[in-house]
A = this chain, B = another copy of it.
């Protein structure tokens, strides 16, 4: 019966044991929550003030307005944009953390870090209009950090966020500015949403949703700088071969999972594990430390260091259930509080590291940039101790793992293309779009959700699009799904790609000495890295001389659940992209809001949300959008 919860065979192998041992997993809790509140699902429940909670009767028999007079449209819109604010805050606080670390490196502090990609630093400085003549690397780093932090602190509303305007097409930046949704300050945009949704403020659903677009573009700003500054500090990902799924956990190693989103600590844990590998061997683990990834911290270290990925969001409890995970180190976001309970049934040490993310039951090792290596060593010691408590009889590591070729940053994609045309690397991509070998591009992102059989929507939609010659990009838990299921391999390209796509991926692969094609799905990073795809898209759009909404480029978050994903989806729409959601957003209690999101936004920004829970139909609809965009371009 558990089988329907996930198409991941490793998960399927572990769930019966969990049930037998009465270990509650996310699927058990989801089942126990049924039936979930219909008012909440429709978005018509308001808890914004204590005159409430209020709710609007969706059938029209009961009350149509809350105590203050807010109707379903106001309530739904407010709830939605508060989610966007949270998403933007989460991504951007992550980005700020990286910017502050870069600033410290520029100041000669934070000795565990250094500038790993000077070329990218120069390029980013140039894009931000920073003069680099006569400045050394540290000085430039500090300037880049400062200009980035300006996007969190500017008080003059007429100057837009520099990371936003400098990274999109000029037409797009103008359109968004004219619409009044271009942020000037990331934090201020988050605060503005919280302000305008306070009781007795904005009641106009369209005005509220435009506030949401502004918040989402603040999210874009924070994400973009987070990715780019991470590349400067930790290196820009380049293609690397690794593997994914629970089979990456090794019986004869001290297994440490890094989980969350922020690479600041996990980078140093990787460094420290190399340094101290002998201590692990001395403790009896023949293969020393084995760092594996979960969720987006996993994607970060996978992209940059080829660290294998254990699993993605929804199955994050499973590594503990293998009985062979000695420590799970978590930073921020998408970390289930249930880990604090489940680890009690095993020997695993759960270690929280960030001051704003603590979990009852976990050991807290506070991480600071200054003491990064010290914290990392302390974590390794805790893992060694846990390893010594491990019960060999309880080990049950599902022997599933798939090869994954990952590391496709925008620079890596353009680098690969440059092997076909060194002067004009975008040209071969564009030529193949125009000649139809590549019909379009789809960016998969977003989460897993208990409302979808885990990974199923990702895999089904991707296979269908690939067969129709759509180039596939992926980030976040989507990337995790594809990696786990073998879709980031050369074999997958041979098996699933349509002829045109296969020819292009093969030509690029061969030109890059891969003796075969590129993988079917290009892993572009963690969920905070969705802007990597925008970098490529803007280059294509600029070469074509059109705005982003004209491109045959679609976005799909087929298993979306988090507020971060909501923010990402909303900025994708604001950038002009048709964005598919495979779970029903909690807005359907308002026809006005639903229509704006799925239709009217098209007139304002060119993009809109396409909601379709059936993967087959979703693929068809995405293909139609691509077709329509191609017709628009007369190709």
Contacts of A339 in B (CB 8 A): 69
A316, closest chain B residue (CB): B200
Q: Which residue of B has the minimal Cβ distance to A186?
A: B191
Do the beta carbons of B583 and A50 come within 8 Å of each other? yes
Contact of A356 among B47, B54, B67, B195 (CB under 8 A): B195
Digitize A392-411: 1 where CB-to-B-CB distance is under 8 Å, 0 elsewhere.
00000000000000000000
Which one of B63, B197, B340 lies within 8 Å of A29 (CB-CB)? B63
Tell me which residues across on chain B come within 8 A of A185, comparing CB atoms: 153, 187
Q: How far does the Cβ of A284 sit from chain B's closest Cβ, in whole Å?
A: 32
Q: How large is the interface on A (under 10, 10 to 19, 20 to 34, 35 or more residues)?
A: 35 or more
The answer to whether A337 touches B49 (Cβ under 8 A) is no
Closest Cβ of chain B: how far from A89's Cβ, in Å? 4
Indicate if A167 sits at the interface (CB-CB under 8 A).
Answer: no
Contact flag A358-B29 (CB < 8 Å), given A40-B47, A92-B191? no
User: With A45-B47, A51-B451, A356-B192 given, is the CB distance from A340 to B203 under 8 Å?
Assistant: yes
In the bound assembly, the distance between CA atoms of A354 and B344 in angstroms comes to 53
Contact residues in B for A74 (Cβ distance below 8 Å): 337
Check: A217 CB closer than 8 A to any chain B CB.
no
* B41:A53 contact, CB within 8 angstroms: yes
- A28 vs B520: C-alpha distance in the bound complex, in angstroms? 60
Q: Is A414 an interface residue (CB 8 A)?
A: no
**How far apart are A195's CB and chain B's nearest CB, in angstroms?**
4
**Given A90-B198, A200-B335, A334-B199, A562–B153 Cβ distance below 8 Å?**
no
In the complex, whether A247 has a CB less than 8 A from a CB of chain B is no
Contacts of A193 in B (CB 8 A): 89
Is residue A602 within 8 Å, beta carbon to beta carbon, of the partner chain? no
A459 at the binding interface (Cβ < 8 Å): no
Q: List chain B residues, Cβ under 8 A from A195.
A: 86, 89-90, 92-93, 332, 356
Contacts of A341 in B (CB 8 A): 69
- B interface footprint on A328-357 (CB within 8 Å = 1, 0 otherwise): 000011111111110000000000000111
A68–B188 touching, CB < 8 Å: no
With CB as the reference atom, state the residue of chain B lying closest to A149.
B155
Partner of A332, one of B190, B201, B359: B201
A279 within 8 A of B: no
Given A26-B69, A199-B561, answer yes or no on A89-B194 (Cβ-Cβ < 8 Å): yes
A360 contacts chain B at the CB level, 8 A cutoff: yes
A251 contacts partner chain B, Cβ-Cβ < 8 Å: no
CB pair A86 B335 closer than 8 Å: no
Q: Does A143 contact B (CB under 8 A)?
A: no
Among B67, B70, B194, B336, point to the contact of A190 (Cβ < 8 A). B194
The docked-state distance in angstroms from the alpha carbon of A63 to that of B31 is 10
In the assembled complex, the CB of A258 is this many whole angstroms from the nearest CB of chain B, namely 15
Q: Which of B51, B149, B202 contacts A30 (CB 8 A)?
A: B51
CB A105 to nearest CB in B, in angstroms, measures 15
Residue from B30, B62, B88, B188 within 8 A of A67 (CB atoms): B30
- From B30, B200, B333, B560, contact of A334 by CB (8 A): B200
Docked pose: A357 CA to B192 CA in angstroms: 11
Nearest CB in chain B to that of A211: its residue: B356
List the B side residues contacting A86 at CB < 8 Å: 48, 82, 194-195, 197-198
Interface residues as binary, A70-83 with B (CB distance below 8 Å gives 1, 0 otherwise): 11001000010011
Are A563 and B49 in contact, with the CB atoms below 8 A?
yes
Q: Which of B53, B62, B187, B586 contacts A40 (CB 8 A)?
A: B53
Residues of B near A88 (CB, < 8 A) are 191, 194
- What is the bound-complex CA distance between A54 and B30, given in angstroms? 9
Residues in A552-578 with C-beta less than 8 Å from chain B: 560-564, 566
Which of chain A's residues 365-395 have a Cβ closer than 8 Å to chain B?
Answer: none
Residue A36, interface by CB 8 Å: yes
The answer to whether the Cβ of A444 comes within 8 Å of any Cβ in the partner chain is no
**Interface contact B337-A198, CB-CB below 8 Å:** no
Residue A96 is within 8 A (CB to CB) of chain B in the complex: yes
Per-position binary interface string of chain A over residues 9-38, scored 1 when its CB falls under 8 Å from any chain B CB and 0 otherwise:
000000000000000101001101100110
The answer to whether the Cβ of A177 comes within 8 Å of any Cβ in the partner chain is no
Q: Are B358 and A204 in contact (CB under 8 A)?
A: yes
Residue pair A155, B153 in contact (C-beta under 8 Å): yes
- Contacts A26-B69, A86-B48, A96-B155 given; indicate if A199 touches B333 (C-beta within 8 A): yes
Nearest CB in chain B: distance from A60 CB, A: 13
Answer yes or no: A120 CB below 8 A from chain B CBs.
Answer: no
Given contacts A155-B152, A198-B563, A355-B180, contact A69 B29 (CB under 8 A): yes
Whether, in the assembled complex, A52 has its beta carbon less than 8 Å from a beta carbon of chain B, the answer is yes
* Chain B hits for A24, CB < 8 A: 65
* Docked complex Cα distance between A86 and B197 (Å): 8
User: With contacts A194-B190, A359-B204 known, is A37 near B49, CB below 8 A?
Assistant: no
10 closest pairs, A vs B, by CB? A69-B338, A40-B53, A153-B153, A187-B187, A89-B194, A203-B337, A200-B334, A204-B358, A196-B356, A89-B191
Binding site for B on A (CB under 8 A): 24, 26, 29-30, 32-33, 36-37, 39-41, 45, 47-55, 62-63, 65-71, 74, 79, 82-83, 85-90, 92-93, 96, 100, 149, 152-155, 180, 185-188, 190-204, 207, 211, 332-341, 355-360, 449-451, 560-564, 566, 583, 585-586
Q: Apart from A41-B53, A53-B586, A152-B153, what are 18 other A-B pairs with CB-CB below 8 Å?
A: A26-B69, A30-B51, A32-B62, A33-B66, A33-B67, A45-B47, A50-B560, A50-B566, A69-B338, A82-B86, A92-B195, A96-B155, A191-B191, A200-B333, A201-B332, A201-B357, A203-B340, A207-B355
Q: Can you list 15 A-B pairs, Cβ within 8 angstroms, ordered by A?
A: A24-B65, A32-B62, A49-B563, A69-B338, A69-B341, A74-B337, A88-B194, A89-B192, A96-B155, A187-B191, A192-B356, A196-B357, A199-B334, A204-B358, A204-B360
